[in-house]
Amino acid sequence: MDFFDYFQPIDLSKEVFNFDYKSNHFANNLLYYSEENQELSDVAIAIIGIEEERNASNNEGCGKAPDFVRKFLYRLSFNGKKKIADFGNLKNGATVEDTYFALSNILEELIKKNILPIIIGGSQDLTYANFLAYKNLEQSVNLVAVDAKLNLDDANYAINADNYLAKIILHQPNYLFNFSNIGYQSYFVSTEEIDLISKLYFDAYRLGEIQNNMEEVEPIVRNADIVSFDVSSIRQAEAPGNKNASPNGFYGEQACQIARYAGISDKLTSIGFYEFNPTVDFNNQTAHSVAQMIWYFIDGVNNRKNDFPIGSRKDYTKYVVSMLEGGNDLIFYKSDKSDRWWIDVPYPSHEKIKNERHLLIPCTYKDYQVACNNELPDIWIRTFQKLI
């Protein structure tokens, strides 16, 4: 696949990039993908800007985000552990569907090459295109969205940033194994949406629930193939660059913490940061925030421990908990390298194990303690219900 035909390469002579970069800055340590520079053999991470906003919901201007984020990302210190290529900005298609098609094909090819794409959008409906990239990869997908809403508006309407998740859920063939929302705010979400999430054995975590225990985010994003981050999930005082911003939401440092958790996940193969709108940003505050989130994500990638699904179970300490009711054992694994926990979920032996990647589920030490009290952890119950 000739990626160059799809992109407008980075032009560092543009006014937005006018800065006295030091040798340790990102700007001086990236591979800038171009017609003359297309060698990707050692590249681990790809930065992709998306200017598509035609299906945005009340956030026109978010298509201008990529270069404003780069403006401040390029000024941050680069630690040099992974080779990063900046592909520039994807050319918009004649229709939104054309953009989706191009983006999904590009992401599919990058993932096949073990290159981790970081998408700087653009509106959050682009998550749908990200999802489509996995169609030909012969795997089911876990999607995590950091969002104040669930984006389950009527799927009978054309796709937009408010109904993209409904489109994903209804997509055929269906290869969405699990969806988790992090940080929804109850006044933005209907009872019907919560009921649907529960009926499908998906997960939704309220903002307050997460903020009271940020460490609980780690196993959630550790189980993700895709993370979709809506900038409007950050409180308006800290990220005003979004026309749908709310006075409540995550603090900036919490957003960075979530991004780093996503980075250290050995399973995650793509991430997108969406809905930043430079036209309503104050003092470039949101541009700074998104740039720093991406920095933390990359720092997480640099510190991956090669745990499951990459590592072998022989590198784990196995814990067996005998349950008094039912006579079955629950099996936990703890990584000797990272101290992270997983729980084994049985699968009917007479069926084809198409979801084998999802049999060992990230969990916490708290889940192990729950099992020791003769209770089934919620994560085990929800996963088992999806497998039977």
**Residues 7-55 pLDDT 10s:** 999 999 999 999 999 999 999 999 999 998 889 999 999 999 999 999 9
pLDDT confidence of residue 354: 55
Residue 348 has pLDDT above 80, yes or no: no
DSSP tag of 153: -
How large a percentage of the chain has pLDDT more than 70? 96
Entry pTM: 0.95
Residue 312 has pLDDT above 90, yes or no: no
Q: How many Cβ atoms sit within 10 Å of the Cβ of residue 49?
A: 24
Q: Is the distance from CB of 355 to CB of 176 less than 8 angstroms?
A: no
Q: Which of 72, 54, 171, 174 is nearest to 123 (CA)?
A: 54
Distance CA 271, CA 29 (A): 21
- The pLDDT confidence band at residue 356, using thresholds 50, 70 and 90, is low
* Residue range(s) of every CATH 3.40.800.10 domain in the chain: 3-302
Residue 345 has pLDDT above 60, yes or no: yes
Q: Which of 141, 126, 125, 108 is nearest to 49 (CA)?
A: 126
More confident residue, 4 or 241: 241
CATH code for residues 3-302: 3.40.800.10
Q: pLDDT digits over 318-344, tens only?
A: 999 998 776 679 999 999 889 999 999
86-99 average pLDDT score? 98
pLDDT confidence of residue 234: 99
Q: Is the distance from CB of 162 to CB of 57 less than 8 angstroms?
A: yes
Distance CA 213, CA 227 (A): 20
Q: Given the structure tokens 């700074």, which residue do they identify?
A: 288
- The pLDDT confidence band at residue 288, using thresholds 50, 70 and 90, is very high
Residue 297 has pLDDT above 80, yes or no: yes
Q: What is the mean pLDDT of the chain?
A: 94
pLDDT confidence of residue 314: 79
Considering only the C-alpha atoms of the chain, give the largest distance between any 2 of them, rounded to a whole number of Å: 69
